[in-house]
Amino acid sequence: MKNAYIFPGQGSQFSGMGRALYESNPISKQYFDEADSIFGFAISEIMFGGTDEQLKQTNITQPAVFIHSVAAFASLPDAKPDMVAGHSLGEFSALVANKALSFQDGLRLVAVRAAAMQKACEKTPSTMAAVLNLADDVVEKICREVQEETGEIVVPANYNCPGQLVISGSMTGIEIACERMKAAGAKRALVLPVGGAFHSPFMMPAREELAAAIEKTNFNVPVCPVYQNIVATAVVDPAQIKANLVAQLTGPVRWTQCVEAMHSAGATHFTECGPGKVLQGLVGKIVKEVTTQAVS
């Protein structure tokens, strides 16, 4: 029996996030206070009482989810992960949990990542869409065909669980792909209210900026493996962890495959740390005969 700790990404934020942890747990409180100090403004106040609109801003959302996730993990005095993983942004929280990264360095990298992604979104209009109840190989095939026939960028971005795959690309490409997905039998192919095409070639400028910041940051040998999005396998080598973090910005989040690999490696209990319970729900759809819980 092994314990896996998992960490959510952008989209799980909500107004009031972290307040209960801050008020009830002195160890967690230190993380919020330190984050305020590093940023030079009270991001905790935006988390506790900001509007949904404020929390949707990428430069606030990503650090907020990271801070909450690490503080939630820190509130578990007996947490001893045998393996960790995070969904997209959550990979940084996972790397703090397995001690590959310090909280301070992780927060600085998340801030760089968020700002760089925001700039990339503003540079060229792009978007994402959720495709439901269509086999992964069919979604992949349609993405390839749209790209080959139109020259528009359309790629698989998030393999969330069987029957739920998010695609990413140009406005025109996503529109064409959605129509073809529905024609192929998708229950839904819905354009998402996001700022841009995350995990696609549109993030190349952000990837270069993040790579420079990661190169200057110290990564330690972790206390347990991290199952990284881009490869969906256990990784412990700091140099490989760095390379995979960079590649993740323009490559897909293979969450389904990560959870399957963790289960194959012996994970029987999954604990989600951070705002919401989205990953807990996805795990239940990916593998059976495991237990799950959420700490938020």
CATH (one of 3.40.366.10, 3.40.50.1370, 3.20.20.20, 3.30.450.20) for 2-122+201-295: 3.40.366.10
CATH of domain 134-191: 3.30.70.250
Which residues neighbour 70 within 8 Å (Cβ) at sequence distance 6 or greater?
31, 93, 96, 97, 103, 106, 273
Band (pLDDT 50/70/90 cuts) for residue 18 is very high
pLDDT tens digit sequence for 120-145: 999 999 999 999 999 999 999 999 99
Q: Per-residue pLDDT averaged across 173-184, rounded?
A: 98
Residues classed as catalytic: 88, 199
Which pLDDT does position 117 carry in this prediction? Answer: 95
The number of beta carbons lying within 10 Å of the beta carbon of residue 53 is 8
Asked whether the predicted pLDDT for residue 77 surpasses 90, the reply is no
Rounded CA gap, 184 and 214, in Å? Answer: 41
Break the chain into its structural domains and give their ranges: 2-122+201-295, 134-191
% of the chain surpassing 90 pLDDT: 93
Confidence of residue 52 (pLDDT cuts 50, 70, 90): confident
Average pLDDT over residues 263-276: 97
The yes-or-no verdict on residue 250 having pLDDT over 90 is yes
Confidence of residue 57 (pLDDT cuts 50, 70, 90): confident
| Global model pTM greater than 0.85 | yes
279 with 272: CB under 8 angstroms? yes
Closest by CA position to 62, among listed 163, 175, 240, 198: 198
